[in-house]
């Protein structure tokens, strides 16, 4: 039976969908029932995909979806389905790939027209209500697509079938496995390095995104080859963005991207995943350089996460760019506002920070840090920033997307646990543990993770990225706490991947579970977005779990999975940088086993201040049973006295008995 002729979004787990629950559009969630209704009524589907922090999604909603005449047209001609891309990245990736295959530029909101059996035949992104920006008005689009559907239905169905096959071949098909060659990893790093802006950092041009997977390619290649230019490109990019307007200098945290080439004017939405990846890369940068800038930004960003994004232990997804209908209003200042808060101290503050408003920017000026040693006058400036933060707290806040995503939380847990370990901050480690408990505690009776959590509601089944990110989080928590239960959790998450996501020939994993029944194509999740791809996170999780556990079968299996995935990257290197990064972990897995005197943890101190994303650390006390720990290849270390074994692949250096020698070994780089 057709669903009720009304808007059905009120009970959804996504705040983004709930934002549209009062639209006059008869929105449906993506579900088997909604798809069945389209088939029964033989009406095309209008699919609208967006997310809560998306500025242009809000614009299109206000212009068109809240308009009674537009809504009446949509309701009469289409089955209207609204999707939160963060809650259903599988749906988003399928139809974004379809849009790109038609030669159109992707983006959000994604507006796609589908046949009644959910096959795509035409689409775009934002459409204004009235014709402008060189785009047709949305009412014109609705009527034109309906006319084409009625007059050319057979032709459209044929085109939609061909487009669906093309998307399936691109997102779900297998390729011949390819050996993982160091030269291929280095070639991608060289290519990315050639795209770096030598003056401002990041990739050349605008807009500028943090692009953590690209930064990791460069960092890993420096570790593998000793190419210090690649390391320096990452450090320079970090320094520019962390001093720029893209960073929130009053409250901490990074905005999603900069609209200009100088990191000055951000698109002000703040995403959990960007900041999780920022913390992790800043950990590496601080360990390498000791620069105060990286430490302060880690501290500020984690403080922001704990202050503004924590819900019952887990972390919310994002903050909107807009408040009171204006982008960036919550975050921006003019000189009079700063003087009103700081009084005579405002001059000293504005000697260290600048307010800039380029010609194209219509809002108040954006605050950014003048290039300086952040340690200088930091105590005084910290008090000023706290006063400004208190004053800002009285403003109308941007909306927060309160859904808690398992995979994004896994990224945050890993980063915060690693920072807690690096800086010996027990509070951070406890916060990471609390988030881990929250996500795991939201599982169903069979131990399956939800993808999205909002209050008492859960969306099942989870995605493969959820299990991979949480497995990586479990390994990081094991390293930070040495609690064996985290190692067991990592193994359990990998087992769940095998049970629900593995393909028939054992060469890889799909993004969606085998019992997910509402997708037209079951895709692999190979392509990076703002986060590393699901496939890359799976390979990294398997490699780290295999190294931690010493499971030789898992070590062999991850080679098979990695080579199959590497074969699928040959057509799109840059879009699959995450797989290259994960393959670097497979190619040269490093395991450090430390037998430590509990009252003199000198070796562990060396290990934690020299992080390496390729390395897994196992620290145990002197006297532990030799059967409880092993080196690569299965040989047990001597557990009767303190020492360290540093192993790459199956080869281990002779036992290291001097912490200074371990420091030298961990900081040794190949010469280029």
CB atoms within 10 A of CB 222: 23
Q: What is the per-residue pLDDT for 520?
A: 86
22-61 residue pLDDT tens: 999 999 999 999 999 999 999 999 999 999 888 899 999 9
Query: Is the separation of the CB atoms in 387 and 341 below 8 Å?
Result: yes
pTM for the complete prediction?
0.94
The CATH class, in words, for 15-171 is alpha beta
Model confidence at 532: pLDDT above 80: yes
| % the chain with pLDDT above 90 | 84
pLDDT class of 626 with cuts at 50, 70, 90: low
Task: Report how far residue 555's alpha carbon sits from residue 400's, in angstroms, rounded to the nearest whole number.
Answer: 41
Q: Burial level of 278, CB count in 10 A (0-12/13-18/19+)?
A: buried
CB atoms within 10 A of CB 669: 13
Locate the domains of the chain by residue range: 15-171, 184-400, 403-587, 590-667
Which uninterrupted H or E stretch holds 314? Answer: strand 314-315
pLDDT class of 380 with cuts at 50, 70, 90: confident
179-230 residue pLDDT tens: 999 999 999 999 999 999 999 999 999 999 999 999 999 999 999 999 999 9
Q: Where are the alpha helices (DSSP H) in 172-249?
A: 182-193, 212-225, 228-243
Query: Is the separation of the CB atoms in 86 and 317 below 8 Å?
Result: yes
Give me the numbers of helices (H) and strands (E) for the chain, helices first please: 24, 23
Q: Do domains 15-171 and 403-587 have the same CATH topology?
A: no
Copy the structure tokens of residue 540.
């990294």
Q: How far apart are the first and last CA of the chain?
A: 68
Q: What is the per-residue pLDDT for 170?
A: 83
Contact residues for 186 (Cβ-Cβ < 8 A; gap 6+): 221, 224, 225, 227
Mean pLDDT of the 607-630 span: 88
Mean pLDDT of the 60-68 span: 96
Residue 16: strand, helix, or coil: helix
Query: Is the separation of the CB atoms in 129 and 139 below 8 Å?
Result: yes
406-436 residue pLDDT tens: 999 999 999 999 999 999 999 999 999 999 9
The CATH class, in words, for 403-587 is mainly alpha
CA-wise closest residue to 142 among 60, 86, 19, 235:
60
């Amino acid at each position: 039976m057709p669903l009720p002729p009304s808007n059905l979004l009120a009970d959804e787990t996504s705040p983004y969908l709930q934002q549209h629950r009062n639209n006059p559009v008869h929105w449906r969630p993506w579900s088997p029932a909604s798809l069945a209704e389209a088939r029964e009524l033989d009406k095309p589907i209008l699919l609208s995909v967006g997310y809560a922090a998306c500025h242009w999604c809000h614009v299109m909603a206000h212009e068109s979806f809240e308009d009674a005449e537009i809504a009446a047209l949509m309701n009469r001609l289409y089955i209207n389905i609204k999707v939160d891309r963060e809650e259903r990245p599988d749906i988003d990736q399928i139809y974004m790939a379809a849009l790109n295959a038609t030669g159109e530029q992707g983006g959000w909101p994604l507006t796609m027209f589908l046949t009644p059996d959910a096959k795509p035949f035409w689409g775009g992104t934002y459409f204004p209500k009235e014709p402008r920006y060189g785009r047709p008005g949305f009412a014109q689009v609705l009527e034109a697509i309906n006319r084409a559907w009625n007059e050319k239905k057979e032709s459209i169905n044929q085109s939609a079938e061909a487009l669906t096959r093309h998307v399936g071949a691109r997102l779900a098909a297998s390729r011949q496995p390819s050996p993982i060659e160091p030269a291929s990893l280095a070639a991608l790093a060289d290519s990315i390095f050639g795209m770096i802006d030598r003056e401002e950092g990041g990739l050349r041009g605008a807009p500028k995104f943090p692009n953590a997977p690209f930064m990791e390619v460069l960092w890993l290649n420096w570790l593998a080859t000793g190419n210090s230019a690649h390391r320096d490109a990452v450090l320079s990019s970090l320094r520019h963005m962390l001093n720029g307007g893209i960073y929130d200098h009053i409250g901490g945290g990074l905005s999603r991207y900069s609209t200009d080439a100088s990191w000055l004017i951000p698109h002000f939405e703040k995403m959990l995943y960007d900041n999780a990846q920022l913390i992790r890369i800043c950990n590496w940068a601080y360990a390498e350089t000791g620069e105060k800038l990286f430490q302060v930004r880690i501290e500020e960003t984690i403080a922001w996460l704990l202050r503004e994004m924590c819900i019952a232990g887990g972390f919310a997804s994002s903050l909107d760019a807009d408040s009171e209908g204006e982008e960036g209003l919550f975050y921006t200042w003019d000189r009079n506002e700063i003087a009103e808060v700081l009084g005579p101290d405002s001059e000293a503050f504005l000697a260290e920070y600048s307010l800039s408003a380029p010609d194209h920017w219509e809002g108040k000026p954006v605050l950014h840090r003048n290039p300086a040693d952040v340690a200088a006058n930091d105590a005084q400036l910290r008090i000023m920033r706290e006063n400004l933060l208190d004053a800002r707290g009285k403003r109308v806040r941007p909306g927060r997307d309160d859904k808690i995503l398992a995979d994004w939380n896994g990224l945050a847990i890993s980063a915060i646990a690693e920072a807690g370990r690096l800086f010996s901050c027990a509070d951070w480690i406890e916060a990471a543990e609390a988030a881990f408990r929250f996500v795991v505690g939201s599982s169903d009776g069979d131990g399956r993770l939800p993808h999205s959590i909002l209050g008492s509601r859960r969306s099942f089944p989870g995605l493969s990225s959820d299990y991979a990110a949480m497995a990586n989080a479990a390994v990081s928590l094991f390293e930070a706490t040495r609690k064996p239960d985290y190692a067991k959790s990592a193994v359990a998450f990998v087992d769940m991947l095998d049970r629900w996501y593995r393909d028939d020939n054992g060469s890889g994993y799909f993004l969606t579970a085998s019992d997910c029944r509402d997708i037209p194509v079951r895709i692999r999740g190979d392509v990076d977005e703002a986060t590393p791809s699901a496939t890359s996170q799976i390979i990294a999780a398997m490699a780290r779990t295999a190294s931690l556990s010493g499971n030789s079968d898992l070590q062999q299996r991850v080679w098979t999975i990695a080579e199959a995935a590497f074969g699928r990257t040959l057509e799109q290197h840059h879009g699959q940088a995450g797989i290259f990064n994960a393959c670097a972990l497979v190619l040269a897995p490093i395991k450090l086993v430390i037998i430590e005197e509990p009252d003199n943890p000198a070796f562990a101190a060396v290990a934690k201040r020299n992080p390496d994303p390729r390395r897994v650390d196992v620290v145990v006390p002197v006297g532990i049973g030799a059967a409880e720990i092993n080196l690569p290849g299965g040989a047990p270390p001597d557990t009767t006295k303190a020492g360290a074994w540093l192993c790459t692949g199956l080869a281990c250096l002779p036992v290291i008995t001097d912490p200074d020698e371990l420091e030298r070994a961990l900081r040794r780089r190949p010469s280029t």
